[in-house]
A and B are shown apart, each in its own frame.
Chain A
Amino acid sequence: MEITVVAEPALRLVGIEKHYGPTVAVAGIDLDVIEGEFVTLLGPSGCGKTTTLGLIAGFFHPTAGEIYLKGRPVVDLPSFQRDIGVVFQDYALFPHMTAAENVAFGLRMRKVPPAEIAKRVADALDLVQLAGLGERRPLQMSGGQRQRVALARALVINPTVLLLDEPLSNLDLKLREEMRVEIASIQRRLGITTVFVTHDQSEALVMSNRIAVMNAGRIEQIGDPSDIYERPATRFVAEFIGRMNLFSGQVTAARTVKTARGLEIGVPVPQEIAAGAAVHVAVRPERTHLLRDKPADGLALRGTLRQVLYLGPTREFHVDRSVAEERRTRDDGVCAVPEDRGRPLDRTDATAHTAGKPLADLRDHGGVVALAFGRVEIDQLHTGKW
């Protein structure tokens, strides 16, 4: 006899909506998070991600929809009966309690015997590398330490789901990058189902099993980090995650795409798209090269080099097609070149006449250059209204 086991998602949201009067904060969200998964709700402020987290936590009641935790409907349960762990953006530690008392709080509420509480609190503080600091009060601790206390406090109760509301946004950059890795590794080690809310895309890309990109109260796209970055499903996702050059144009008879301003892009246009169809082409800056002159195949954006931004590992070259015309047009492009390549011009330029040119030349803003796209470099081609 064969037995099929259908895994019950640890967390399931079905048609969740939250309205505040005429304002719609969450406009219908469906989401399954499987056991042990790390899912990030990513979006700009006001996209409804924190509201969604609050609905899962039971801080307020959804206008419509169902929430299941391990198959159990919880929409009508108050927060304290949901068995969740929450780490707040401001940590929300209890200032009148020591770190250890903060961590012990959830266990005390669950009437765990004192001896066991002591042991589990010590273990939890150990887990977040705060062993020996249990007697400190939150006000005597650094931001990073408070963050760890908050994490330990949420983890010690072994919740069904761990909810993290922008927990890293109050830390400085160095600490933030450290905590990213640490939280992710603790999460993997404990195998705890986690929903993480952030507006920081690099956080989302580094930490998540899956990312749900949210906009205007809806999930625009959900997928693993490389899906989201490499194959954005909507224009919003393409522009929100990373940098993106976007060009709108028409399919030509030669199966290329030509923008209204005459830029021709050699993109492999699928057969089902007829010549003349309106399409959008999206190219990541790091997939373009900068050339001194237009390449032989002509598939390049020729324009004025307006800006060179030194970003450390890469250098961004902003090419402005509209030299004398209005400034911002969709045909402007950005090229990102890794610094270790030294000279941005020598990568693909077969003519080699620029190979020996020093980089300094390109720093002269206003020089005329070409932003080239090879055939394989196109990230996305979308038809119609994208």
Chain B
Amino acid sequence: MPRILTRRWRATSGPWALLCTVVGFVYLFSLGPILITAAVSFNQTNRSFFPPRGFSLRWWERAFAPEWIDPLLFSLKLGSLTALLATLLALPLAFALYRYRFAGRNALIALTLGPLMLPTLVTGVGLLQLFQYLGWREYIGFTALLVGHVVICMPFAVRTVSISLQTLPPNVELAAASLGATRWLAMRHVVLPLIKSGVVAGAVFAFIHSFTDVNLSIFLARPGEVPITVKILGFLEFGFAPTLAAVSVITLLLPLILVAIVERVSGLGDFIYGDHRRG
């Protein structure tokens, strides 16, 4: 059927119109705030008008001052380390949980995936109290944040790694062993390359989750060791300003750029959209 005919038919049908409306609303509410925030950052005066009045780049200049850049770099560092640690821990954990049956396996699954279900706020308060109870006050700040973030981010990595383990073609490990590969060599040359996208996806999810977390970070930060989200939240007490809009846009773009790069390099799409392409 010629394409134009299909389209005309769809445009006039009720369900199609309904779908268009729903999708339209989804886009409005997901893209709208971003576009408005971006627009606000170009206001002439220190007021958050929308549509912006006048045009100025000075709020963007201010967004790149140490006051904002330092927490941003801090969040980047925290997110990267969290992603690295969470993934390194998730690999053996996923193997253990989804390859072997052992006593306490269910308990371990609950412990590992539990933080996904718990409100992060509660985890944050709990961790703060734990650190204080243990007398580890001096670790509150980066170390405590790192521990907390690994705890709340690891479930994502465990999930993606175990999904990729389940899609591993059967027998490839046995085939490698029959060809003379030790367990380690089979892991390095066969298993890891085949679950790579799951591992990378896990790391990316962990990074994004860490980078955007505020619930947990708000309890474990200390002056000088503040993630960007907590900094933004603190600044909001004085009201929304064009500077904040600029900072928000930067904070928003960073993870997006990261996802785009990873998508290019290793096909993260397999993981976000399902893995039909892996065959």
Contacts and interface: CB of A to CB of B under 8 A. Distances in A.
B198 to A, nearest CB: 13
Given A88-B171, A90-B171, A92-B172, A79 B193 contact: no
Contacts of B278: 95
B194 A85 contact: no
A85 B178 contact: yes
A64 B191 CA distance: 31
B169 A92 contact: yes
Interface stretch (B180-188, B204-212, B218-226): B180-188
Given A57-B174, A109-B179, A109-B185, A90 B279 contact: no
Which of B174, B178, B189, B278 is most buried by chain A, counting CB atoms within 10 A of its CB? B178
B170 interface: yes
Nearest to B182: A80
B177 A80 contact: yes
Contacts of B258: none
Contacts of B189: 105, 108
Contacts of A110: 180
A96 interface: yes
A110 B185 CA distance: 11
A157 interface: yes
Which of A85, A92, A106 is most buried by chain B, counting CB atoms within 10 A of its CB? A92
Contact of B170 (A79, A82, A90): A90
Contact of B194 (A82, A90, A95): A95
A242 interface: no
A386 interface: no
A78 interface: yes
Contacts of A157: 179-180
Which of B177, B179, B194 is most buried by chain A, counting CB atoms within 10 A of its CB? B179
A157 B189 CA distance: 18
Contacts, number: 71
B171 A153 contact: no
Contacts of A153: 175, 179
Interface residues of A, number: 29
B191 to A, nearest CB: 10
Interface in B254-279: 278-279
Contacts of A84: 178
A91 to B, nearest CB: 8
A94 B172 contact: yes
A274 interface: no
A59 interface: yes
A139 B279 contact: yes
Contacts of A106: 179-180
A86 interface: yes
B185 A57 contact: no
The 5 closest A-B pairs by CB, nearest first: A106-B179, A92-B171, A109-B180, A79-B177, A92-B175
Interface of A: 57-59, 78-86, 88, 90, 92-96, 105-106, 108-110, 139, 153-154, 157, 163
Interface of B: 169-172, 174-182, 185, 189-190, 193-194, 278-279
Given A78-B177, A80-B179, A96-B194, 5 more contacts: A78-B182, A88-B175, A92-B169, A93-B175, A109-B181
